[in-house]
Amino acid sequence: MNPFHKRIAVNLSIAMGIIAVLVLGVVIFGFRINSLSEKIAATRHELNERSAALSSLASLRSDYSNKGKPYLGVLYNVIPQKDELIDLSKDFQVIAREDNLNYGFIFLGENPPSQGVLGSVNFSLSLGGELKNLLSFLKNLENFRYLISLDNVSVSREPELMRMSIRGSVFYR
């Protein structure tokens, strides 16, 4: 090989090496740009979701301020504090007397309030009287001054009168 061909071969080899390195760099850079663009798209999607959630939260807070707060007082009237339930048996007794019923009250325990859940006082009522009076008592419980849940109601017949047993809960805040 003469020196001219040798020099052309060396220059050509160097040029091909540089071109190979540049092509390799473009390919690696292209893959890196592709992965970064996917991350950007995922981040943009997450940002859109968070923006929508924030918008929903702002809407809920606005609705609460404009529509919910006025009803909070009503809710406080229906759901008492624990101390207000001290005369719970007397409240039931008043309704039973209005319907001419024999009355018995048993306190079964309580479930204290926890994060976001109301507390409750569990009770059992034992009533005796005519069927129409027992049904009237149940009807009056619908308008009871506290929020209650009846878990079990059973009616039985005795020779002289009807008996009703009620298990339930009164909720408090």
All residue ranges of the chain with pLDDT < 70 are 1, 72, 76-77
Six-digit token string for 80: 């008492």
Q: Which residues pair with 104 in a beta bridge?
A: 126
Please state the three-class secondary structure of the chain as a single string. Answer: CCHHHHHHHHHHHHHHHHHHHHHHHHHHHHHHHHHHHHHHHHHHHHHHHHHHHHHHHHHHHHHHHHHHHHHHHHHHHHCCCHHHHHHHHHHHHHHHHHCCCEEEEEEEEEECCECCECEEEEEEEEEEECHHHHHHHHHHHHCCCCCEEEEEEEEEECCCCEEEEEEEEEEEC
Conformational region of residue 128, where left means phi above 0, alpha means psi within -120 to 50, and beta covers everything else: beta
Are the beta carbons of 155 and 135 closer than 8 angstroms? no
What's the whole-model pTM score?
Answer: 0.57
Identify the pLDDT of residue 126: 93
**102-111 and 148-157: which strand pairing?**
unpaired
Taking only the tens place, the pLDDT of each residue in 23-64 is 999 999 888 998 899 999 999 999 999 999 999 999 888 887
Identify the pLDDT of residue 85: 82
Of the candidates 69, 70, 105, 90, which has an alpha carbon nearest to the alpha carbon of residue 145? 90
